[in-house]
Amino acid sequence: MAQNKYYSIDSLTDNEWKIALSDEFNKEYFQELLAKLNKRVDENVEIYPKPDDLFAAFNKCPLDTVRVVLIGQDPYHGPGQANGLSFSVNKNVPIPPSLKRIFQELEDDLNIRPSENSGGDLSKWAEEGVLMLNATLTVERGSPNSHKDYGWQQFTDFVIEYLNSKYENIIYLLMGNFAKMKCKNINRRDNYVISIAHPSPLCQRGFLGTKPFSRINSYLSSIDDPEIDFRT
């Protein structure tokens, strides 16, 4: 099957998310966002992730399965890296420094090592109910944050507020100040917020040793929900 050249809402395949996001897709800012993206495509600018993976975070974690929300900033901007899930990369791609530290903490916390078959691909986490949402869903090659003013922030703010207003007992894993600000209005009475430092090696303190994965599963156990299998 030929891959799509242009970005569109057609790449969102989960029906519940389609219904939840339909009004937002019809707003003028979102139509302008897609027009900007596809203008860059016509100018032969390389954009990540590829159009078919634009809504991978939603397709791989259907709305009625969301148990954990993990916020990233924007996609990896190197060739072949971004796969539509925050912090995740396609398998057979070298694992970025932040993800290396996430894996280090996962091993220290739960004694789980990443699968050699999956590499840095976190798709199995999505299937367990982890919504890995970048605040900005696209980026240009070699240019981090190049699409931060396209309108994605408004869109992902809506997604977070939608979850916050309609669901309870969701775990928000906020790594770093950006994610903390993005989710500053979360209803902490009815949800569980884990707020720690960003896993980047530039943040020397406040991430390693925080045991977020066991804390997630302890909370799920406390509400009689199945634990998340963090094997990749």
Residues annotated as catalytic (active site), given as ranges: 74
- Let me know: does 51 contact 8? Beta carbons within 8 Å: yes
Quick check: 83 and 54 in contact, CB under 8 A?
A: no
Which 3 state secondary structure label does DSSP give 54?
Answer: coil
Q: Tell me how far apart the alpha carbons of residues 77 and 134 are, in angstroms, rounded to a whole number.
A: 13
- Alpha carbons 150 and 137: distance in angstroms, whole number: 10
CB atoms closer than 10 angstroms to residue 221: 11
CA pair distance 166, 31, nearest whole angstrom: 25
Question: What number of other Cβ atoms are within 10 A of residue 134's Cβ?
Answer: 24
Rounded to an integer, what distance in angstroms lies between the CA atom of residue 72 and that of residue 146?
15
* Contact of 89 with 95, CB cutoff 8 Å: yes
